[in-house]
Amino acid sequence: MRFLPTDEQRAFTRSLHTMLRAARPPAAARAWAAGDPAPGRAAWTGLAEAGVFALAVPENHGGLGPLPAELALAFVELGRHAVPGPVVETVAVAALLTALGDPAPAERLLPGIAAGEVMATLRLPGTGPYALDADAATSVLVVDAAPAVPGPGSPGDGGSGSGSGSGSGSDVKGHADASEGAHGGDHARDRNGTGTGTGKGTGDASRPGPKAARPPTLRIAPGHGPVRASADPVRRLSVPQGGGEVLAAGPGVAAAAATAVDWARLATAAQALGTGLALLDRTVEHVGRRAQFGVPIGSFQAVKHRLADTLIALEFARPLVLGAAVSMTRTDIAAAKVAAGEAAYGAARAALQLHGAIGYTEELDLALWLRKARPLRDAWGTPAQCRAAVLRP
Amino acid sequence: MRFLPTDEQRAFTRSLHTMLRAARPPAAARAWAAGDPAPGRAAWTGLAEAGVFALAVPENHGGLGPLPAELALAFVELGRHAVPGPVVETVAVAALLTALGDPAPAERLLPGIAAGEVMATLRLPGTGPYALDADAATSVLVVDAAPAVPGPGSPGDGGSGSGSGSGSGSDVKGHADASEGAHGGDHARDRNGTGTGTGKGTGDASRPGPKAARPPTLRIAPGHGPVRASADPVRRLSVPQGGGEVLAAGPGVAAAAATAVDWARLATAAQALGTGLALLDRTVEHVGRRAQFGVPIGSFQAVKHRLADTLIALEFARPLVLGAAVSMTRTDIAAAKVAAGEAAYGAARAALQLHGAIGYTEELDLALWLRKARPLRDAWGTPAQCRAAVLRP
Amino acid sequence: MDLTHTADEDAFRAEARAWLRAHVPHPPPPSLETAEGFAAHRAWEAELHSGRWSVVAWPEQYGGRGADVFHWLVFEEEYYAAGAPGRVSQNGIGLLAPTLFDHGTQEQRARILPPMASGEVVWAQAWSEPEAGSDLASLRSRGVRTAGGWLLSGQKTWSSRAAFADRAFGLFRTAPDEDRPHRGLTYLMFDLKAPGVTVRPIRRLDGKPAFAELFLDEVFVPDEDVIGEPGQGWRIAMSTTGNERGLMLRSPGRYLAAARRLVGLWRATADPSDTALRDRVADAVIGARAYQLFTCAGASRVAAGSAIGAESSLNKVFWSEYDIALHETALDLLGAEGEPADGRDGWSEGYVFSLAGPIYAGTNEIQRDIIAERLLGLPKGRR
Amino acid sequence: MDLTHTADEDAFRAEARAWLRAHVPHPPPPSLETAEGFAAHRAWEAELHSGRWSVVAWPEQYGGRGADVFHWLVFEEEYYAAGAPGRVSQNGIGLLAPTLFDHGTQEQRARILPPMASGEVVWAQAWSEPEAGSDLASLRSRGVRTAGGWLLSGQKTWSSRAAFADRAFGLFRTAPDEDRPHRGLTYLMFDLKAPGVTVRPIRRLDGKPAFAELFLDEVFVPDEDVIGEPGQGWRIAMSTTGNERGLMLRSPGRYLAAARRLVGLWRATADPSDTALRDRVADAVIGARAYQLFTCAGASRVAAGSAIGAESSLNKVFWSEYDIALHETALDLLGAEGEPADGRDGWSEGYVFSLAGPIYAGTNEIQRDIIAERLLGLPKGRR
């Protein structure tokens, strides 16, 4: 056992850090939010050249991977530098196509992902109507109607993710549970695990039973609806259009989607961890400089203790994220997602409070991390969904 | 509107405070825990002479009441002074007999309660197998098997409180939900509301359906099993024996039991509030005196803020308790129980931490309040049960 | 100890309810932190004023109804229950007007209050400065004596709504050589369009210009716009923070209505057996009721002649943390629909707004120090 | 970055598991904070020792197996997974022994360690004094030079297990005139049955005599029971708090086993759709895994030659708060059966024990100060 990054891994993250600092992602993120993806695309190319996306792509499709540990370390840096774009989603697409095992769609997209030419995004049933950054992505993938395998103790309740076949996304309620459904979990428990309020009214009567379930399909959406800004305006949300070319169908798509969720959760957890670390760093710097009542506010015990608690949460989330990347078990990944997501959100709350009014402004770059923490906490699995997954036998 | 104690109410609580201080309840509580109820009985007589129990007894049965506002004010003082004995349970018995409306049992016990001659305790289905202080009480009342009225949206699941007919109390699981069941609530929701871990295995197969439900009965238990110390040793728990004289039966018993739960919750909430206030007072005094690193620890900001939060929780629980005593609505009472119970438990955690090791000893009188906070938080309705009640339509 | 309303209060409630039902705009106007929304909210103030509902607690001569604190609480309950818009004139009505009632001249009241009541003049506050956040005693913006008035120079910041407001009020250092920093401050009012004033809007987290920086360069303020004696500004400002405004900064009606909306959202969207969410919704209901009853007790003490002092710090910490928890619960109930910035029913904007609660009007850290030292009597430390 | 075990570690695990399965007493012995339970736990130490499992991390010559930190972690996982009893010799093994390895003489190690390993001599710590809780520099108990040794006088308190233990170790002021209070302290060992020692048991919240006050009146300690140089006691005591013992104070195996028991309780008693409880049970599982992996990373750093310094404060705050939350969840799962003091499966006693966590071994307030100042580099304040 040597549960520490190797020298090579450390050199890799250091070089990423140096490259990203030079690329000034805050400016790219602001442009991205304003609808100008050009600087973000340039950063993307840099990431691809550094091999980040290739980590998620197998060697036989032009990649270096799959190397989840290196990927997690890289995503900590992406979070730390507030890099814009569908970085998690592109990795999830790579994982999905890899898991699918079908050479044609894999060869069509994976080499491009590894090379940084494909910027992909993805919507799975159960994670809401939106795809992230579909307006900037080169490929918008959609999985429709992945029926859940009934779990033990879930009599006669195997359908999940109904109503998403149209791809219109207007029927939010139809997407309640499929990120868990894709995990083959127990539907009833999933619903309790969502905490997303989309459970009720899913339409018990209209939900197809196990026998009526259509096979899940993977398609390339022909476009997307109007862009809505997220609470983090760097995250641009839109609903993928229906129709388009079907790449794959059948139960294999559901299993591959579950794998995609795993990778997406891991990458999001790492990104959240990096986000929280950046928030803490900036806040520590601020409170050491900002004076009130004649002393730096960082000398007040209330400030110290709040930041100590923030550090504790992040430093115990970190080994969960890296450990999940090593083990790649579903429960470890879910645990990492809970801990990193909550730690980052806690860091955001502390950062805002301790910066005071200046932290509440869009003008300070701090906002780029502040506003990202909460969406990352929930993306690809809310804390409630992931807690349910931790206890799934 | 004058949502303040009147001059008379203030004079009453002041006189109670003076009387209790003179009676040195900590010594009585320690004797009570050791199995010597004599000093506690003497304090009981003093409370009765001050009219405390008469507040729960209607005038036509020798009381002064029902006067819930005065009773709540009195119970804040009982909590503040750590008075031992089944004070809440005696009030609950008075409320039950009053609500029952049957003159014979009422006349048999109520005048004695008002006069302080009857020290009663009570077990209802759904609050566990134990009755409090049955060894010291003069009357041990038991309600068995109060069937719940199925609530809306609770198809075919109307049974509740099964398995308590024997009165043996060995079948804890049978008591899962009846304090809520006594409130006529929805069984399925109740179970989720208990948070008591007794839901599963209640025996779905063996639970009588709505048609098989026996009518609830009220009886005087002929005795009790061995005494088990609570985590608060001043609370002496035992299981009432089966059998004994039946005082009443029929649906009226269920409704009266629900009223008894309301009064028990209100009195417990007030007692918890007083407990929390006493914990805060003692801790403020301690941290002003105890020095570390050359200054009183009460000058450290972390200590200040923790006590400020404790005060906030208690000062917002106080109007809930008094407001519930004025309105006597079921939701207000449940809200008060949640807030006062959690505030007192929070005060206990803060008191222990800020006293340090000395607070962790049985020798300091602080322990009398410390150990009571958690049982009071849960008695007659856990926070989860009471939160469910707050939202019940 | 009672919670009953008088017949007069009941009648007042019925009248308010009927008027509001007939007049509250549906759909609600755009966010008041936008130019368009600000104009719409100003128009709504005029409409409220036309019904004599804009300043119910003021004397009738200034457009009010002379409502006591209990009537005010009733009005606020009805106002928020009706889903009526936020109050764009809140800073003037809640902060400046009480100061004018206590320390202003007859002339000032007659000149300033009626257009405030009608929304014709909307006021912004100008307290904070870049180097003086929670530490107001270190204010540096100054007023220099000139013929017939004062020339103001310096910089103010975090001036809520100043991006669109008409006038502002604040403290300025007029006697810089005083040995104690609390002395030598003067309470002044000035025009945001006056020569020498530059308003730079500041965008909050959601991009809306909810406050502004004010740069003042020899801005002339006539003597008639000084409140109280020059040099007494600190005392005047403090004297109106310790009264019942501690109770009135956020009315219980606001949270009762918000909790009711949350319960509605929960019933519409959540699985009732999802106890984790249920418990948080219940806590929102419990907290709103606690805040209402706490305020009733405080109002009763005020009505009985007591002053509300440091107790208002309990209030501030409670509502500000409550408000965030309530909005976090709403967003969790909304799930994926909670992410968009223009999310459903204003919950997303409400969440952003709530985040400022623990920061402004005295940070919660300062409030907890006050609670510990003044209410619990703990020894002062260096913090 | 890997989490695999070596073949040797796997074999060690298998051997430990097999031995424990054959030897762990069922039902478990009574609480070790009682006379009867103490004796039973002492007997268990002897049994462990007979299998060479009592001090796996020590060199073989003292009864150990020379296990490195990874083997130790494996052993601890197996130990707690097997439901084995608490370790009555923990203070000696965890605190005194590392000090003897670093600062003791060959003679001391040969004389003291073997009977410690076998449970023949059980050690108590004697650090705190009534006026010196978190502030050890203000210790007052003193040692006065006498022929061939020292005479100890004064009072110690919060001496865990001293009610039943055999010997104790602690710091005594032997040079009272030193100008800096950290100087002039000497690290000494003494017999709890020696003339001049009075042991007054102190009952903790559940009534059990878990610690004691020690009154010392000219208690003779021979020179051979001084550890290191006289006057160097502070440095010696501190030098063994900053090493890997920060990792080893509470082993991950303990919480992994506790979380597993909690999940079992939850599956046996709770409604799985009760998400409020489910989330807390999940957090216990997540926390145990986080603690395990955090410790693995720390152990890997130690194995790679790094020192564990202030990082052990992260560890202390985490496990102490985790332990309370876990037990609170268990009691909530037990419902009415969680109230009795002798409640099911030791959860009630475990809860009482957990409550001490944030207080002892440096209060969590002190730990957070250390984290803020030493790990985050925030400026020192007066606290």
- What DSSP letter does each residue of A65-119 carry, written as one string? B--HHHHHHHHHHHHHTT--SSHHHHHHHHHHHHHH--HHHHHHHHHHHHHT---
How many helices (H) and strands (E) are present in chain D, helices listed first? 13, 8
For the residues of A160-224, what is the DSSP string, one character each? -STT-TT-----GGGGSSHHHHTTT--HHHHHHHH-SS-STTS-TTTS--TTTPPPPEEEE-S-B
Give the number of beta-carbon pairs within 8 Å between B and D: 137
Please say whether the beta carbons of D2 and A2 come within 8 A.
yes
Query: CA angle at residue D7 from D6 to D12, to 5 degrees?
Result: 95
Q: Which pair of structure tokens corresponds to residue B364?
A: 């300091």
Write phi, then psi, for D181 (nearest 5 degrees).
-65, -20
Position with higher pLDDT, D84 vs C138: D84
- Are D212 and D258 within one domain? no
Assess if residue A141 is contained within a domain.
no
Residue D86 clears pLDDT 70, i.e. is over it: yes
Counting every residue written for chain A, the total comes to 393
Residue C307: its pLDDT value, please? 81
Amino acid at B175: H
User: Strand C197-202 to strand C142-146: parallel, antiparallel, or no bridges (unpaired)?
Assistant: unpaired
Residue C261 CA neighbour count, 13 Å, CB half: 21
| Distance separating alpha carbons of residues B345 and B372, to the nearest angstrom | 9
Closest Cβ–Cβ partner in D294, D301, D377 for A4: D301
Residue C66 clears pLDDT 50, i.e. is over it: yes
User: Which residue out of C33, C244, C337, C339 is catalytically annotated?
Assistant: C244
Q: Which domain CATH number covers B352?
A: 1.20.140.10
Chain C CB contacts of D383 under 8 Å are 381
Report yes or no: C340 at the A interface, CB cutoff 8 Å. yes
What is the mean predicted confidence (pLDDT) over D76-91? 96
Q: Which domain CATH number covers D173?
A: 2.40.110.10
What is the mean predicted confidence (pLDDT) over D357-381? 93
Report yes or no: B229 at the D interface, CB cutoff 8 Å. yes
Assess if residue C382 is contained within a domain.
no
Residue A201 clears pLDDT 60, i.e. is over it: no
Residue B173: its pLDDT value, please? 33
Beta bridge partners of residue D285, listed in sequence order:
none
| Distance separating alpha carbons of residues B334 and B322, to the nearest angstrom | 12
- Containing B245, the helix (H) or strand (E) segment is strand B245-249
What is the mean predicted confidence (pLDDT) over B6-23? 95
Chain D CB contacts of B196 under 8 Å are 332-336
Residue A107: its pLDDT value, please? 96
The pLDDT tens digits of the residues spanning B248-285 come to 999 999 999 999 999 999 999 999 999 999 999 999 99
Task: Tell which of A279, A312, A328 to mutate to test the D interface (max D CBs under 10 Å).
Answer: A312
Residue B170: its pLDDT value, please? 33
Assess if residue D106 is contained within a domain.
no
The pLDDT tens digits of the residues spanning C82-94 come to 999 999 999 999 8
Residue B203 clears pLDDT 50, i.e. is over it: no
DSSP state of B176: S
Chain D CB contacts of C273 under 8 Å are 273-275
Report yes or no: A308 at the B interface, CB cutoff 8 Å. no
Amino acid at C381: G
- The alpha carbon of residue C93 is apart from the nearest alpha carbon of chain A, in Å, by 23
| Distance separating alpha carbons of residues B343 and B314, to the nearest angstrom | 5
CA distances to C102, C131, C223, C238 from C182, in Å: 20, 15, 21, 11
The reply to whether residue D339 touches residue B130, judged by beta carbons under 8 angstroms, is: yes
Domain boundary among D168, D196, D231: D231
The pLDDT tens digits of the residues spanning C318-330 come to 999 999 999 999 9
What is the mean predicted confidence (pLDDT) over C8-32? 96
What is the mean predicted confidence (pLDDT) over A350-367? 95
| Distance separating alpha carbons of residues D257 and D261, to the nearest angstrom | 6
- Are C258 and C355 within one domain? yes
Percent of chain B at pLDDT > 90 equals 78
CA distances to A310, C69, C237, D105 from D58, in Å: 36, 74, 69, 16
| Distance separating alpha carbons of residues B183 and B258, to the nearest angstrom | 5
| Distance separating alpha carbons of residues B205 and B270, to the nearest angstrom | 40
- The alpha carbon of residue A329 is apart from the nearest alpha carbon of chain C, in Å, by 26
Domain boundary among C231, C254, C283: C231
- Are C254 and C226 within one domain? no
- Are C200 and C301 within one domain? no
CB atoms within 10 A of CB A210: 13
- The alpha carbon of residue A233 is apart from the nearest alpha carbon of chain D, in Å, by 30
The reply to whether residue C286 touches residue B320, judged by beta carbons under 8 angstroms, is: yes
Residue D175: its pLDDT value, please? 87
Assess if residue D236 is contained within a domain.
no
Assess if residue B372 is contained within a domain.
yes
Beta bridge partners of residue D150, listed in sequence order:
D145, D221
| Distance separating alpha carbons of residues B363 and B350, to the nearest angstrom | 18
CA distances to D36, D44, D100 from D164, in Å: 10, 15, 23
- The alpha carbon of residue C350 is apart from the nearest alpha carbon of chain B, in Å, by 23
Beta bridge partners of residue D219, listed in sequence order:
D152
CB atoms within 10 A of CB D236: 19
Report yes or no: C22 at the B interface, CB cutoff 8 Å. no
Residue in chain C nearest D280 by alpha carbon: C276
Domain boundary among C65, C88, C111: C88
Report yes or no: C333 at the A interface, CB cutoff 8 Å. yes
Percent of chain C at pLDDT > 90 equals 80
For C21, counting Cβ atoms within 10 Å of its Cβ (0-12 exposed, 13-18 middle, 19+ buried), the class is: exposed
Residue D242: its pLDDT value, please? 53
Write phi, then psi, for A291 (nearest 5 degrees).
-110, 145
Residue C135: its pLDDT value, please? 67
Give the residue carrying structure tokens 């006349």. Answer: B107
Assess if residue B172 is contained within a domain.
no
- The alpha carbon of residue C324 is apart from the nearest alpha carbon of chain D, in Å, by 20
- A145 pLDDT band, cuts 50/70/90, is confident
| Distance separating alpha carbons of residues C298 and C321, to the nearest angstrom | 20
Residue A165 clears pLDDT 50, i.e. is over it: no
Q: Which of A139-148, C264-273, C306-315, D68-77 has the lowest mean pLDDT?
A: A139-148
- The alpha carbon of residue B122 is apart from the nearest alpha carbon of chain D, in Å, by 15
Q: Which of A159-168, C16-25, D53-62 has the lowest mean pLDDT?
A: A159-168
Q: Which domain CATH number covers D51?
A: 1.10.540.10
Report yes or no: A384 at the C interface, CB cutoff 8 Å. yes
Q: What per-residue string of b and e applies to B163-191 under the rule 16 or more CB within 10 Å gives b? A: bbbebebebbbbbbbbbbbbbbbbbbbbb
Q: Which domain CATH number covers C346?
A: 1.20.140.10
The pLDDT tens digits of the residues spanning B299-358 come to 999 999 999 999 999 999 999 999 999 999 999 999 999 999 999 999 999 999 999 999
What is the mean predicted confidence (pLDDT) over C160-179? 90
Write phi, then psi, for C56 (nearest 5 degrees).
-60, -25
Q: What is the separation of C-alpha D215 from the centre of its chain, rounded to a whole number of angstroms?
A: 23
Residue C176: its pLDDT value, please? 77
Residue C120 clears pLDDT 90, i.e. is over it: yes
Residue C245: its pLDDT value, please? 57
Q: Which of A375-379, B293-297, D269-273 has the lowest mean pLDDT?
A: D269-273
The reply to whether residue A390 touches residue D375, judged by beta carbons under 8 angstroms, is: no
What range defines the domain where residue B269 resides? Answer: 265-391
Counting every residue written for chain D, the total comes to 383
Chain C CB contacts of D273 under 8 Å are 273-275
Mapped onto helix, strand or coil, the DSSP state of residue A254 is: helix
Any chains having at least 3 CB pairs less than 8 A from chain D are A, B, C
Residue A377: its pLDDT value, please? 98
Residue D130: its pLDDT value, please? 86
Q: For the sheet containing A139-144, what is the strand order?
A: A120-123, A139-144, A217-220, A245-249
Report yes or no: A200 at the B interface, CB cutoff 8 Å. no
Chain D CB contacts of A315 under 8 Å are 294, 314
Report yes or no: D180 at the C interface, CB cutoff 8 Å. no
- Are D309 and D205 within one domain? no
Chain A CB contacts of C368 under 8 Å are 302
- What residues of D are labeled active site? 244
Chain B CB contacts of D343 under 8 Å are 231
The reply to whether residue C383 touches residue A293, judged by beta carbons under 8 angstroms, is: yes
Assess if residue A304 is contained within a domain.
yes
Assess if residue C157 is contained within a domain.
yes
What is the mean predicted confidence (pLDDT) over D193-206? 96
| Distance separating alpha carbons of residues D31 and D341, to the nearest angstrom | 12
What is the mean predicted confidence (pLDDT) over C148-163? 95
**Average model confidence (pLDDT) across chain A:** 86
What is the mean predicted confidence (pLDDT) over B43-67? 96
- The candidate with the shortest Cα–Cα distance to B291, out of D144, C307, D132, A108, is D132
Assess if residue B214 is contained within a domain.
no
Please say whether the beta carbons of C266 and A199 come within 8 A.
no
Residue C273: its pLDDT value, please? 78
The reply to whether residue C1 touches residue B304, judged by beta carbons under 8 angstroms, is: no
Report yes or no: D325 at the B interface, CB cutoff 8 Å. no
CB atoms within 10 A of CB D132: 19
- Are D152 and D197 within one domain? yes
- The candidate with the shortest Cα–Cα distance to D74, out of D245, D258, D357, D299, is D299
Report yes or no: C341 at the B interface, CB cutoff 8 Å. no
Residue C362: its pLDDT value, please? 86
- D241 pLDDT band, cuts 50/70/90, is low
Residue in chain A nearest B304 by alpha carbon: A302
Q: What is the pTM of this model?
A: 0.93
Q: Which pair of structure tokens corresponds to residue B93?
A: 């018995």
The reply to whether residue D365 touches residue B237, judged by beta carbons under 8 angstroms, is: no
Closest Cβ–Cβ partner in B308, B387, B388 for C372: B308
Residue B154 clears pLDDT 60, i.e. is over it: no
- The candidate with the shortest Cα–Cα distance to C269, out of C333, C327, C325, is C333
Please say whether the beta carbons of D273 and A189 come within 8 A.
yes
Residue D178: its pLDDT value, please? 66
What is the mean predicted confidence (pLDDT) over C137-152? 93
Mapped onto helix, strand or coil, the DSSP state of residue D22 is: helix
Chain D CB contacts of C276 under 8 Å are 275-276, 278-279
- The candidate with the shortest Cα–Cα distance to C282, out of B336, B151, B321, is B336
DSSP state of A250: S
Residue D309: its pLDDT value, please? 82
For C209, counting Cβ atoms within 10 Å of its Cβ (0-12 exposed, 13-18 middle, 19+ buried), the class is: buried
Please say whether the beta carbons of C132 and C139 come within 8 A.
yes
- D183 pLDDT band, cuts 50/70/90, is confident
Q: Into how many domains does chain D fold?
A: 3
The pLDDT tens digits of the residues spanning A211-258 come to 445 789 999 999 999 999 899 999 999 999 999 999 999 999 999 999
The reply to whether residue D342 touches residue B229, judged by beta carbons under 8 angstroms, is: yes
What is the mean predicted confidence (pLDDT) over D145-168? 95
Any chains having at least 3 CB pairs less than 8 A from chain C are A, B, D
The reply to whether residue C340 touches residue A237, judged by beta carbons under 8 angstroms, is: yes
Report yes or no: D180 at the A interface, CB cutoff 8 Å. no
The reply to whether residue A327 touches residue D293, judged by beta carbons under 8 angstroms, is: no
Residue A149: its pLDDT value, please? 44
Percent of chain A at pLDDT > 90 equals 78
Chain A CB contacts of D4 under 8 Å are 1
Report yes or no: A322 at the D interface, CB cutoff 8 Å. yes
- Are D220 and D296 within one domain? no
What range defines the domain where residue C159 resides? Answer: 123-231
- Are D310 and D248 within one domain? yes
Report yes or no: B204 at the D interface, CB cutoff 8 Å. no
- Are D293 and D360 within one domain? yes
Chain A CB contacts of B300 under 8 Å are 301
What is the mean predicted confidence (pLDDT) over D232-261? 82
Assess if residue A373 is contained within a domain.
yes
The pLDDT tens digits of the residues spanning C330-341 come to 999 999 999 999
Report yes or no: B316 at the C interface, CB cutoff 8 Å. yes
Please say whether the beta carbons of C244 and C313 come within 8 A.
no
Q: Into how many domains does chain B fold?
A: 1
The reply to whether residue B316 touches residue C369, judged by beta carbons under 8 angstroms, is: no
Q: Which of A279-293, B155-169, C39-53, C128-142 has the lowest mean pLDDT?
A: B155-169
- Are D226 and D250 within one domain? no
The reply to whether residue C286 touches residue B335, judged by beta carbons under 8 angstroms, is: yes
- Are D227 and D254 within one domain? no
Assess if residue D208 is contained within a domain.
yes
Residue C134: its pLDDT value, please? 61
- The candidate with the shortest Cα–Cα distance to A264, out of A73, A94, A55, is A94
Mapped onto helix, strand or coil, the DSSP state of residue C202 is: strand
Residue D111: its pLDDT value, please? 97
For the residues of B70-89, what is the DSSP string, one character each? HHHHHHHHHHHTT--SSHHH
Residue C308: its pLDDT value, please? 80
**Average model confidence (pLDDT) across chain D:** 92
Q: What is the dihedral of CA D252, D253, D255, D256, to 10 degrees?
A: 110
- Are C216 and C249 within one domain? no
Assess if residue C80 is contained within a domain.
yes
What is the mean predicted confidence (pLDDT) over C59-68? 95
- The candidate with the shortest Cα–Cα distance to A41, out of A94, A117, A155, is A117
- C356 pLDDT band, cuts 50/70/90, is very high
Report yes or no: B81 at the D interface, CB cutoff 8 Å. no
What is the mean predicted confidence (pLDDT) over D281-298? 97
Q: Where are the alpha helices (DSSP H) in chain C?
A: 7-23, 35-50, 69-81, 90-91, 97-103, 106-118, 233-239, 245-248, 252-269, 275-303, 311-334, 347-355, 364-370
Assess if residue A291 is contained within a domain.
yes
Residue A208 clears pLDDT 50, i.e. is over it: no
Residue D15 clears pLDDT 60, i.e. is over it: yes
| Distance separating alpha carbons of residues C277 and C329, to the nearest angstrom | 7
Assess if residue A363 is contained within a domain.
yes
The pLDDT tens digits of the residues spanning A321-345 come to 999 999 999 999 999 999 999 999 9
- D382 pLDDT band, cuts 50/70/90, is low
Chain A CB contacts of B301 under 8 Å are 300-302
Report yes or no: A108 at the B interface, CB cutoff 8 Å. no
Percent of chain D at pLDDT > 70 equals 95
Closest Cβ–Cβ partner in B198, B361, B378 for D204: B361
- The candidate with the shortest Cα–Cα distance to B253, out of B178, B194, B187, is B178
